[in-house]
Homo-oligomer: A and B are copies of this chain.
Amino acid sequence: MTPPPQDARPSASPPAARMLDVAREAGVSAMTVSRALRDPASVSAKTLARINEAVARIGYLPNRVAGSLSSRRGNVVGLVVPSLRNSLFAETIQGVADILGNAHPLMIADGGYTLAGEEQAVAAFLAQRVCGVVLHNTRHSARTRALLRDAGIPCVETGNLVRDPIDMAVGFSNQEAGRAMTAHLIARGYRRIGFVGLPWRENDRAAERLAGYRAALAEAGRAEDAALIHQAAPGLASGGAALAALMALPTPPDAVFLSGDVLAAGALLEAARRGWAVPGQVAIAGSDDGELQSSLTPGVTTLRFPRHEIGRRAATMLLDRLEGRASGRAVLDLGFELVVRASA
């Protein structure tokens, strides 16, 4: 008798074991197995042992789909980010995943930097009956807000601090951050301070940073010079180009605050190539501290945002609500840090 082929995939695999199979194997009812698995203490020690043996013997894996339907309670958490590629979001994602662990699987969708993309992702999550949602953003379409409000599940927005959250929010104030860095440059004695930011029409965080820059100038009684305000795409090369453009002005700046992505690092590399002394000829300040900014020479004076912690707190708030430890709206400001190095 020849044995059947070993790896005839995708052969019809035997149907997965059910709870009833475990019950039979252990000589108890399905109900008892269910309880034993969810709350081992609610079952006698002997029964528990027999059930555990049976589970191991037949390789039983609980069916969470059936469980969720029956209990009307899911365990999956949904997370929407603008992009999966961006390492800044990756920090927050990791923070969320660290807290959730395997008990709360994480569904991640990429909303593609558009309100419509986010809305579709949220709708898809709700169809999967997620037990909570984390949004990496604080601007949403009206329908996104409505969907989430009506779903009756907890929702945490992360990122730019918001005054009117859908439900809960964790983040920091980009405006305050922009203001703080600009004030630092003013305090250091720089007279003509340039600003480079990501396209602020589409990006509320970038817009807030610019507002902070303006606020700081106004507070110091400085006039704003439109020629010193520059918009740049993300990327090292883009930061370098922006610095070059500002330095080509008839009256170039003596300091530039490049807010976002790795713009500041790009500017520093460009300055090195051009032989501009930093900070002697032009000071450079950035945002979003990372290994790159601290490893360059000179080190980049920058803002440090608690992105990982934001993820952890977002997940914690969600779990607290799911497990009844908290209720009601909440907005949590985790602040930021000004890291002063040699570049400014």
A contacts, CB < 8 Å to B: 7, 9-14, 16, 59, 61-66, 68-69, 74, 76, 83-87, 90-91, 93-94, 97-98, 102, 105-110, 120-121, 123-129, 147, 149-152, 154, 167, 235-237, 240, 262, 266, 269, 272-273, 291-292, 295-297, 321, 327-329
CB neighbours of A13 from chain B (8 A): 150-152
In the complex, the count of this chain's copies comes to: 2
B129 touches A63 (CB 8 A): yes
Is A9's CB under 8 angstroms from B329's CB?
A: yes
Q: How far is the CA of A137 from the CA of B181 in the complex (A)?
A: 42
| CB-contact partner of A295 in B59, B108, B237, under 8 A | B237
Q: Given the complex of chains A and B, what is the CA–CA distance between A120 and B240 in angstroms?
A: 45
Known: A61-B127, A105-B124. A85 touches B90 (CB 8 A): yes
Looking at the assembled complex, report how far the CB atom of A173 sits from the nearest CB atom of chain B, in whole angstroms.
Answer: 23
Give the residues in chain B near A129, CB-CB below 8 Å.
63-65
Complex contact A120–B107 (CB within 8 A):
no
Q: Are A69 and B65 in contact (CB under 8 A)?
A: yes
Instruction: Report chain B residues within 8 Å CB of A121.
Output: 102
Choose from B61, B74, B90, B110 the contact partner of A84 (Cβ within 8 Å).
B90
